[in-house]
Structure 1
Amino acid sequence: MLRYPTTVRTLRNLMENSSPTAAQQKVHFHYNHTDSCKFSRWTSRECYEFMYARPWHKVVDFYADMVKGHTSLSGLFGKETPADHEDAEIREDHEKSELVNIPVKDKSRDKSGRWARANFMIVLSYHGGSFDGWQKQPDLNTVQGLVERSLGEFVDEKKAQLLKDKNLPLEACALVAGRTDKGVSASQQVCSFYTWRKDVKIEDVKAALDKAAPGKIRVVSLTKVSREFHPNFSAKWRHYLYIFPIDDVGEKQGGQIWNDDSTDVHQQNECGKSDVDKSNVNEINDENDKLVHGNKPTKFEVGKVNRLLGQLEGKLLSYKMFARDTKASRNIGPPTECFVFHARAIETSIPCAKDGSHMKTMCIELVANRFLRKMVRVLVATAIREAAAGADDDALLKLMDATCRRATAPPAPPDGLCLVDVGYTDYDIRHCLIP
């Protein structure tokens, strides 16, 4: 009986002695770059504040006008690009569709009955600032949740009864080409749903979606497609555009004046303070990553960003250093490899409908066969950081060999990102906005 307390005390002492001391615990610090411009490179916190200290509300308003059809992305570059999805297009000829050219199996050989169902491809434009991302989540206003509720009236009787028996709401199941984060807009997002009902008309489906949230979501096209079509697995490339405000001449935000070609990294406006991305807190909240007030540059050249991104074109590379929030099983090998078809940056301006003015911006266009979690936003922020520091043109390629993700910058704000299109035919540079 006397040995039990002694044993417990012994185990407790062993546990205390085996626990790591303060010196042994893992210490997070800013990644130690070894190149010649390491003293000019922003820390994570400096980069974060530089990115968020921008008049993002004007970019958000521009995307809102895009969804309403008042403006277009191609209009920013003075061109009309050939699009796979034309506005308000409704097609019934799903067997002859060039967009989804997938061979259909012999229906007589399939005894499961799934060939009797109708599969619909929906191309949507939505305003990211009005939703909490694509993926359906409890008590949040998401695009997927809105779409599935709107399509609930078209599910077949068997599924409707099954949902009723489980006390679940009457909703359809929508698949998507790629889930977008909160704040990310889409010009032509592709999703699909199927039903066994034979009386569903495309016009009715379009009307149900258009009335779900007018001004926030719009049907670009709706097509009846092959049963084998999957918006994600059938896609051959994804097309993104990031609009980054360079300046806001003559207007004050939060008491600060936005200057030509630059913004001080320590300035913040109201938009920057309210739109803090909580997912980046771990990357910038370290004691060893405090702001360093020195002679670090606060300007960057758009041409330099273009040269940095250009080094990625036509290469199959592992972008694990530019990914965030990925599972450990996807951090090595092919799951992190992406082939970038097109990566360009150009200076342009976007219209501000509220006051009739224009704001100078940098547009970054990326087209790849796939993108990892937050990869586009990290690439944008890192390219701007490296351009400001005066790094070599192959700086992004060198970062591929890093062993710590702190070598790359925190993700840029989601407000500037837009999913332009998803392609189901071979990549063609004519679909790009920036030549």
Structure 2
Amino acid sequence: MPRYALKVEYHGAPFAGWQRQADQPSVQGAIETALSRLEPRDHTIAAAGRTDAGVHGLGQVAHCDMDKDWDPFRLSEALNHHLKPDPVAIVACAHVPEDWHARFSAIERRYVFRLLMRRAPATHLKGLVWRVNQPLDIAAMDEAAQRLVGRHDFTTFRSSICQADSPLKTLDHLRVTRVDGPHGPEARFDVRARSFLHNQVRSFVGTLERVGAAAWTAHDVADALAACDRARCGPVCPPDGLYLAGVGYPDDPFA
């Protein structure tokens, strides 16, 4: 069966997350339903990461197996037609080898988090950012973020329902920068690692926001990490503002 890699963009607000669920809308379910309209049968796709409810996708990657040898462009166009009106789009499609896997072939996941700093409620960006009322100290947040980079036991920043075999992970990159946009200043978090624990990025952001608000210091973040105790984590921020921005592979299937 020909296998295809799909680069997927989606707005996470209407969905209970990526993963198919019996009684709630999901991104996986929307794509599998669209596939069944092209080839009437049950379809099961696999993705690079299972994003939670309300989390968005800019560069999620999934793969599907088809009976027909589709031209990749025509497959993406047909899927986009049947995905309407769901806020899901196939932005690229490519033939891949039969043993290529969207999850297991990946060597990097990249996340972006957008935190809007203004007192007025978000209107155009509602659901797309986490809004806080006060300005934050971006330099202090970035300094504290560097305490998290490297290979650590991230138990403190791991959800209690995380199913990963081990809390040991290598965080390759975490930077916090200021971005001045038309709706106000944002704190932008750029995060990269081979893989993440459940709620790890949201735990980072919520904790670092406390640093930006001068309630925590970089030393507090380092101490919380060393404690390996979930109770030492700062507040877990909401999913608004979190995006799976991209997935890296040894050979980019979309290049």
User: Normalised by the shorter chain, which TM-score bucket?
Assistant: 0.7 to 0.9
* Aligned counterpart for 1:192 among listed residues 43, 57, 63: 63
SS in 2 for 1:150: helix
- What is the CA-CA distance between 1:391 and the residue it aligns to? 4.1
TM-score w.r.t. length of structure 2: 0.86
- For 2:247, the equivalent position in structure 1 comes to 422
- For 2:47, the equivalent position in structure 1 comes to 176
- For 1:368, the equivalent position in structure 2 comes to 193
SS in 2 for 1:179: coil
- For 2:71, the equivalent position in structure 1 comes to 201
Change (3 A) 1:141 1:252: closer
- What is the CA-CA distance between 1:398 and the residue it aligns to? 2.0
- What is the CA-CA distance between 1:236 and the residue it aligns to? 0.8
Instruction: For residues 157-191 of structure 1, give each alpha carbon's deviation from its aligned partner in whole angstroms, at most 9, with x where no partner exists.
Output: xxx6xxxxxxxxx3311000000111111111000
The structure with the largest helix share of the pair is 1
* Aligned counterpart for 1:323 among listed residues 139, 148, 158: 158
**Which has the higher mean CA deviation after the structures are superposed, 214-223 or 199-208?**
199-208
2:186 is equivalent to residue 340 of structure 1:
no
Letter in 2 for 1:234: S
SS in 2 for 1:418: strand
- What is the CA-CA distance between 1:154 and the residue it aligns to? 4.8
Which of structures 1 and 2 has the bigger CA Rg? 1
Letter in 1 for 2:235: P
- For 1:312, the equivalent position in structure 2 comes to 148
Q: Is the 8 A contact 1:153 1:171 kept in 2?
A: no
Q: Is the 8 A contact 2:108 2:195 kept in 1?
A: yes
Letter in 2 for 1:120: Y
Change (3 A) 1:325 1:390: closer
Distance in 1 (alpha carbons) for counterparts of 2:38 and 2:153: 42
Distance in 1 (alpha carbons) for counterparts of 2:190 and 2:163: 29
* Aligned counterpart for 2:6 among listed residues 122, 130, 136: 122
Distance in 2 (alpha carbons) for counterparts of 1:305 and 1:326: 27
Structure 2 residue runs without a partner (length 5+): 123-131
Aligned-residue RMSD, C-alpha = 2.4
- What is the CA-CA distance between 1:220 and the residue it aligns to? 1.4
- Identity level (%): 27
Letter in 1 for 2:60: Q
Q: Is the 8 A contact 2:154 2:228 kept in 1?
A: no
For residues 11-160 of structure 1, what are the structure 2 equivalents within 5 Å? 117-155=1-39
Letter in 2 for 1:306: D
Distance in 2 (alpha carbons) for counterparts of 1:397 and 1:142: 36
Q: Is the 8 A contact 2:172 2:192 kept in 1?
A: yes
SS in 2 for 1:311: helix
Instruction: For residues 71-119 of structure 1, give each alpha carbon's deviation from its aligned partner in whole angstroms, at most 9, with x where no partner exists.
Output: xxxxxxxxxxxxxxxxxxxxxxxxxxxxxxxxxxxxxxxxxxxxxx211
Letter in 2 for 1:418: Y
Distance in 2 (alpha carbons) for counterparts of 1:325 and 1:118: 39
The aligned length equals 242
SS in 2 for 1:321: helix
Q: Is the 8 A contact 2:155 2:229 kept in 1?
A: no
Structure 1 residue runs without a partner (length 5+): 1-116, 161-169, 254-261, 264-297, 352-357, 427-435
Distance in 1 (alpha carbons) for counterparts of 2:249 and 2:163: 30
The structure with the largest strand share of the pair is 2
Instruction: For residues 183-223 of structure 1, give each alpha carbon's deviation from its aligned partner in whole angstroms, at most 9, with x where no partner exists.
Output: 1111110000113x244332342123212124711111100
For residues 371-386 of structure 1, what are the structure 2 equivalents within 5 Å? 371-386=196-211
Distance in 2 (alpha carbons) for counterparts of 1:300 and 1:199: 52
Q: Is the 8 A contact 1:238 1:368 kept in 2?
A: yes
Letter in 1 for 2:201: V
Distance in 2 (alpha carbons) for counterparts of 1:378 and 1:123: 26
Q: Is the 8 A contact 1:307 1:393 kept in 2?
A: yes
Distance in 2 (alpha carbons) for counterparts of 1:223 and 1:425: 15
2:213 is equivalent to residue 388 of structure 1:
yes
Change (3 A) 1:328 1:131: closer
- For 1:295, the equivalent position in structure 2 comes to none
TM-score w.r.t. length of structure 1: 0.52
For residues 244-263 of structure 1, what are the structure 2 equivalents within 5 Å? 244-248=115-119, 251=120, 263=133
Letter in 2 for 1:319: F
Q: Is the 8 A contact 1:154 1:200 kept in 2?
A: no
Distance in 1 (alpha carbons) for counterparts of 2:135 and 2:59: 33
- What is the CA-CA distance between 1:328 and the residue it aligns to? 7.2
- What is the CA-CA distance between 1:152 and the residue it aligns to? 1.6
* Aligned counterpart for 2:91 among listed residues 220, 236, 257: 220
Distance in 1 (alpha carbons) for counterparts of 2:18 and 2:153: 26
Change (3 A) 1:375 1:203: same
- For 2:125, the equivalent position in structure 1 comes to none
Change (3 A) 1:226 1:252: closer
